[in-house]
Amino acid sequence: MKKILILCLVIVMAVSTNAQPPKGQGGGRGPGKGGRGANKEKIELYKIQFTTEKLALTTSEAEQFWPVYEAYKKAMKEIIETKSNDEIQLQEASLNARKKYKTDLKAVLKTDERINTALKIEREFLKKMRNEMNKRKGFRA
């Protein structure tokens, strides 16, 4: 009886240690697990492709659009960092940044329809990413 119990314990321990991914092979989250920076880069490249296709940007438009977009993202990040403790100021500063972004985009995208699409694109991209993540996890979207 003791031999069977010890054998079962050894099997359970062997199975549980094999179930753990080796360190450094991206099996978990956090530093030293690898892959996180590469995933962020892939997402950023996918976002650029998604935005370029949605806005139907030409090469010259893309060269003008991306610096404007990056300035907008930097401004929004700064607003969130400085105004996050006051919801009204946060909303007001965000709206002002979006208005400035819309004005800056007018020179690049020309039409109001394309500008409105550019203003909505972040939300669309996040929705698409959320749906993709849910699909990969087995949830229905």
pLDDT tens per residue, range 113-137: 999 999 999 899 999 999 988 998 8
**Chain segment 91-115, per-residue pLDDT in tens:** 999 999 999 999 999 999 999 999 9
Task: Over range 11-31, report the average pLDDT.
Answer: 53
Q: Around Cβ 71, how many Cβ atoms within 10 Å?
A: 14
The predicted structure's pLDDT at residue 14: 57
Q: Is the pLDDT assigned to residue 32 strictly greater than 50?
A: no
The mean-pLDDT minimum among 28-32, 72-76, 115-119 falls in 28-32
Domain borders along the chain are 39-137
So what's the pLDDT on residue 137?
87
Residue 20, judged by CB atoms within 10 A of its CB (0-12, 13-18, 19+), counts as exposed
Neighbours of 109 (CB within 10 A): 22
